[in-house]
Amino acid sequence: CRYTACMATEWLYALGAVGVVSVVSLVGVGALSLRDAALRRSIFVLVALAVGSLFGDAFLHLIPEAFEGAGGVATGISVFAGILVFFALERFLAWQHTHGAHEESRETLTAHAHTPRALGPLVLAADFAHNAVDGVIIGASFLAGIPVGIATTVAVVLHEIPQEIADFGILIHAGWSRGKALLWNFLSALSAFLGLFAVLLLGERAEGLVPLAMAFTAGAFIYIAGADLVPELRKASGGRRTLAHLAAMLAGFGLMLLLTLAE
């Protein structure tokens, strides 16, 4: 085929692939049929699954890939930048919640439960960055050929399924309604198209930023899982709940391990 025609075909495939990845964000739609009591019982298990998935994605997938492409020092700086930026973002969101007019006492800080309130926007911001990186990866892979692009898309979708389930659980835990959580999770997933268009416009220059963007996203995931979600799990009491949370964390991490080994 002619070069122009081949490129057009590859970009049509890439657009379709990114569309599929975006639709995966609606995987939480099954929760719409659950009763409130059943959903409440499963929330902390989903949060624990999210902890394992976020740590697993960061340590097993994002950081090793970034290290391979950018080297150790640049990867370490980008991971720390992700942690620092999301710490600052969370503090800003908490400050907004306290009306920005005065320092609150310890009692009012506890009463307002800031972490769950800030958690929703924080998770969406991290997911936005992650999906944009996925769009760049998919776009770059289709430039190497349609078979390579399809294989990459399958790998991204497999990673996204547990990730999106975990994100949905976090948003519900943060106090969002099911419909709102699904809608905003889907809207954040559309950032994959931005990543794809960046490849279309910038070519290899966009691809060169992927390792640092992956490391930055890993830092965001580490911060959210360690600073926000683990403390939430520590609020639950009882041996059975602790064992259930440990099992869910191991399941989330183990699933990411299996997906990484299968690539």
pLDDT band for position 92 (50/70/90)?
A: confident
Question: If you search the block for the tokens 């997938």, which residue do you land on?
Answer: 61
What percent of the chain is modeled with pLDDT above 90? 27
**Higher pLDDT among residues 155 and 112, named by residue:** 155
- Give the per-residue pLDDT at 85: 93
Is the distance from CB of 188 to CB of 127 less than 8 angstroms? yes
- In this prediction, residue 187 carries a pLDDT of 93
pTM greater than the 0.85 cutoff: no
pLDDT band for position 97 (50/70/90)?
low
Reported as a pLDDT band with limits 50, 70 and 90, residue 165 is: confident
Report the pLDDT value the prediction gives residue 117, as an integer from 0 to 100: 65
Rounded Cα–Cα distance for residues 202 and 199 (Å)? 5
**Whole-angstrom distance, CA of residue 53 vs CA of residue 143:** 29
Note the pLDDT of residue 209: 81
Q: Is a pLDDT exceeding 80 seen at residue 2?
A: no
> Which range, of 31-35, 127-131, 198-202, averages the lowest pLDDT?
31-35
pLDDT over 60 at 242, yes or no? yes
Instruction: Check whether 1 has a pLDDT greater than 60.
Output: no
In the block, residue with structure tokens 């990114």: 18
Q: 209 by DSSP, 3-state: which?
A: coil
Please count the CA atoms within 13 angstroms of the CA of 228 that sit on its side-chain side: 32
Average confidence score pLDDT of the chain: 82
